[in-house]
Amino acid sequence: MKIVKIIVLVLLVAFVGVQFIPTVRNQSESTPKTDFMLVNTVPKNINEKLQVSCYDCHSNNTAYPWYNKVQPVAWLLENHINNGKEELNFNEWADYSDRRKKSKLKSIISQIRDDEMPLTSYTLIHKDAKFSENEKQELMDWLSGLRDSL
């Protein structure tokens, strides 16, 4: 019984302790001129869908959930966001060469088609980020059109 008490206490102290480790927050005031929405003519519904479902991890500005400051959740988010931005950053769209834009669009489309994006761990909390079959089709059609126009 005593052992249990000690373990619980240790965990508690550790939990409180890790809260003091800082994380870098992914937030910026302004949208750069190279943003996907600014350099392309994006229909309103597509724009909204991409912003809600993708921009949290694929842009320089995350709408953080309330629990984002609680460790170890903050690390997990930071990690996801860093990886996400490395793969694709909608804010830097115009900086990609056309070759890479095409390749990115191809990957975006196949990720949406195969339900690999948005991540399940993300849609679990962000219910509105999930795509319906209709929305998936709409997005894929529009993105394919953009890809062919490049």
Partner 1 sequence: MRKLKLSMGILAIAFATLTVVSCKDAKKENNNEDGHHSEMSTDEDHSKMNHDNSDGHHDEEATHDNSDGHHDEEATHDNSDGHHDGDSAEMSSEARDLDVSSQKNPATTPIIDAYLQIKNALVTDNKGNAAKGGTALLAAFSKFDMTTLTGESHKEYMEIAESAIEHAEHIVKSPIDHQREHFETLSTDISDLITLLGTDKTLYLDYCPMKKVNWLSETKDIKNPFYGSEMLTCGNVKKQIN
Report if residue 67 touches partner 1, rule: CB under 8 A.
no
Q: Using alpha carbons, list the distances in angstroms from residue 96 to 92, 135, 136, 138.
A: 7, 26, 24, 24
Stretch that binds partner 1, among 53-61, 93-101, 126-134, 140-148 (CB under 8 A): 93-101
C-beta of 44 vs 99, nearer to partner 1: 99
24 close to 77: Cβ distance less than 8 angstroms: no
132 close to 78: Cβ distance less than 8 angstroms: no
Stretch that binds partner 1, among 9-17, 58-66, 120-128, 131-139 (CB under 8 A): 9-17
Query: Three-state DSSP class for 129?
Result: helix
Report if residue 70 touches partner 1, rule: CB under 8 A.
no
Sequence-ordered alpha helix ranges (H) in the chain: 2-18, 36-39, 44-53, 73-87, 98-113, 120-123, 133-149
Out of 33, 99, 132, 134, the only residue in the binding site for partner 1 (CB under 8 A) is 99
C-beta of 29 vs 98, nearer to partner 1: 98
Q: How many CB atoms lie within 10 A of CB 81?
A: 21
Out of 28, 82, 121, 144, the only residue in the binding site for partner 1 (CB under 8 A) is 82
Report if residue 9 touches partner 1, rule: CB under 8 A.
yes
Task: Give the residues lining the site for partner 1 (CB under 8 A).
Answer: 6, 9-10, 13-14, 17-18, 21, 75, 79, 82, 86, 94-95, 97-100, 102-103, 106-107, 110, 150
